[in-house]
Structure 1
C-alpha cells in the first residue's frame, strides 16, 4: 500500500474548510489532510507566543502524518506564527517540507479589486494588531490605503453554530458600520479570516451593492496551483489518491462533521486528536 503524503490544511477551527474546499476543487487529484484545532479556538485574542505554540504543535503533528506541505488556512496563525515557523523552527529540521500562509497570496492581488484605492480589512484582533495586511499590501500596491477592523465576536458565533440565526445580524452590522465610518468610499472589503465567508450573505446585505466582498479561498487556491508548478521538489512528494482525511482537537466530532460536510462533496467522519 502506498504511503499517503497529503497536502495539509490547518485552521484554528472550521473556518479553514472554506479554503480547503477551494484548494480541493482546483487540485482535485491530491490526497488531503485537514486539521482543525477546535478545542483551542478561537486564536484571535491569544498572545503571540501562545498562537505560535499551538500552531507549531499542530504543524509538527501534520508533518508526522506525512504532510510535506502544510497550508495555514488561518489568518491569525499566518500573521503571528508563520514567519517564526519558517525562519526559526524548520531550518535544519524540516528542510524537505514547506509551510505556507494565506496573507501573502491575498496581498499580491487584493489591490486589483479596488477602484477608489481604499480597502477595508476585517479580521480577528490578532490579525489586525499584527498589521500584516497593511504591510504586505503596501509592498504590492503602495497607492492603496488600508483600513482595518477587528471583529472579535464573529468567530465565536461561527464556531458555536450561531451565525445563521437572526441574532447574529446585529454583530455583523456593528463591525461593518465601524469599518465604513473610517472611510465611506471603501469599495473593497477583504474577509481576512477564513471563518468569515460563512457570514458572507449577511455581510453583503448590510453593504452598498458597489462594495466588493472578497473571500480568500479561490485566491489561496490559485496561488497554490502556481506554487506547485514552480516548486517541483514539493509537488513530487505529494501523492494523488484523491483521499480526504479530517482531524479535530474537539471530542465533539459529530459537530465538526456536520460543519465539515457543508464543504465536502462526501460525508465527513473526523478523528479526534488530543493535544497537550
Structure 2
C-alpha cells in the first residue's frame, strides 16, 4: 500500500542515502560511493530472497524494485540509488515517471545506466564498446539507447552472461571450474568485432571476475566497472541539487539489510566489501521467514 509523501516529512540533515540491489553486487557500488562520500549515512538493501533479477520479466522486476524502494522510503531515505543494472533497465523509468510524481514528488531515485552512458565514450579510441551483463540488462537494450544519446558515433556490442552471477554468488568465480564460462562469453563478445577496445561490466557482480578477465583479454582492451563512475556522478548530482544534499544525514552510519538469509549475506558481503558487516533481516520483503 502506498503512503503519501507527507507521511515521511523529514527534518533537515536526517535522511540516509538508500542503496538497493537485487543481491550482493550492489555492494561494489556502495563501497565506491561510501569511499567517495564517507560522511553520509547509508542504508543498503539486498533483495536476496528474490535474486537474481536478470531473467525476470519487466513487470516482475518493476514490482520487486518498487517494493524495495518504498521500503527504503519508509526508513527515511529521500534519495535512493538503484545499484543494479537490471533494476535500472527494467524499473527505473516507471518509478521515476509513475510513482514519484504522484506519491513522492520530493524523493529521487537514480540508476547506474545513465551515469555510465554519459562518460563511457571517453574510454574508447576506436568507438567500439562491449557491454557484458545479465539477460535482463542486455535484452532491455538500455545501454545502446542511452550511449547513442551521448556518443552517436560509437558502436555498442552486447553479450549476456547468464552463468556469471550464479558463479559469483556461490563463491565459485575464482575457481578453475569457472574459467570455461568466463572465457566463453568473452570470446562471444570479441567475435562480434575486433575493434572493441573497451568493455563495460554492466552488472555490479562482475568486478569480482576482473582477475580472470584480465588474463583473457588483450592489453588493448580496457575493462570498466561502474562503482567509481556512479560515485562521481552522485557527488556531482549532490553539488547540483543542494536542496537534496542539505536533507542528508552526516553521521557516517552504515546499515545493511537483506530479504534473504542473514548469515549468508554477511559471508558474501565480506567478499564484496573486504570487511565484516552485520546485516539485519527484512521480513516484509520476499516472504522471508528468516
1:261 is the counterpart of 2:253: no
- Is the alpha carbon distance of 1:69 and 1:120 closer, same or farther for their aligned partners in structure 2, counting shifts above 3 Å? same
Cα displacement (A) at 1:267? 2.6
Structure 1 distance, partners of 2:274, 2:218, is 33
Cα displacement (A) at 1:92? 2.5
Structure 2 distance, partners of 1:15, 1:196, is 8
**Runs of 5+ consecutive residues of structure 1 not aligned to the other structure:** none
Tell me the residue number matched to 1:270. Answer: 279
With structure 1 as the length reference, what TM-score do the two structures score?
0.96
Deviations 1:98-133 (A, max 9, x none): 000000000000000001110000011011111100
Structure 1 distance, partners of 2:269, 2:166, is 17
Tell me the residue number matched to 2:4. Answer: none
Structure 2 distance, partners of 1:50, 1:263, is 26
Structure 1 distance, partners of 2:24, 2:35, is 18
- 1:54 aligned to 44, 58, 64, which one? 64
Tell me the residue number matched to 1:17. Answer: 27
CA contact (8 A) 2:169 2:268 kept: no
Cα displacement (A) at 1:240? 0.3
Map 1:111-150 onto structure 2 (within 5 A): 111-150=121-160
Question: Which stretch of the first structure deviates more once superposed, 256-265 or 190-199?
Answer: 256-265
**Runs of 5+ consecutive residues of structure 2 not aligned to the other structure:** 1-10
1:176 is the counterpart of 2:193: no
Q: Secondary structure at the match of 2:168?
A: helix
Cα displacement (A) at 1:259? 2.1
Supply the RMSD in Å over aligned alpha carbons. 1.3
Tell me the residue number matched to 1:5. Answer: 15
- 1:206 aligned to 205, 216, 226, which one? 216
Structure 2 distance, partners of 1:123, 1:192, is 5
1:77 is the counterpart of 2:95: no
Structure 1 distance, partners of 2:237, 2:130, is 27
Structure 2 distance, partners of 1:265, 1:176, is 27
With structure 2 as the length reference, what TM-score do the two structures score?
0.92
Aligned residue pairs, count: 274
1:93 is the counterpart of 2:114: no
- Is the alpha carbon distance of 1:156 and 1:266 closer, same or farther for their aligned partners in structure 2, counting shifts above 3 Å? closer
Moved >2 Å (runs of 4+): 261-267
Tell me the residue number matched to 2:257. Answer: 247
Cα displacement (A) at 1:232? 1.1
Q: Secondary structure at the match of 2:25?
A: coil
Structure 1 distance, partners of 2:238, 2:62, is 26
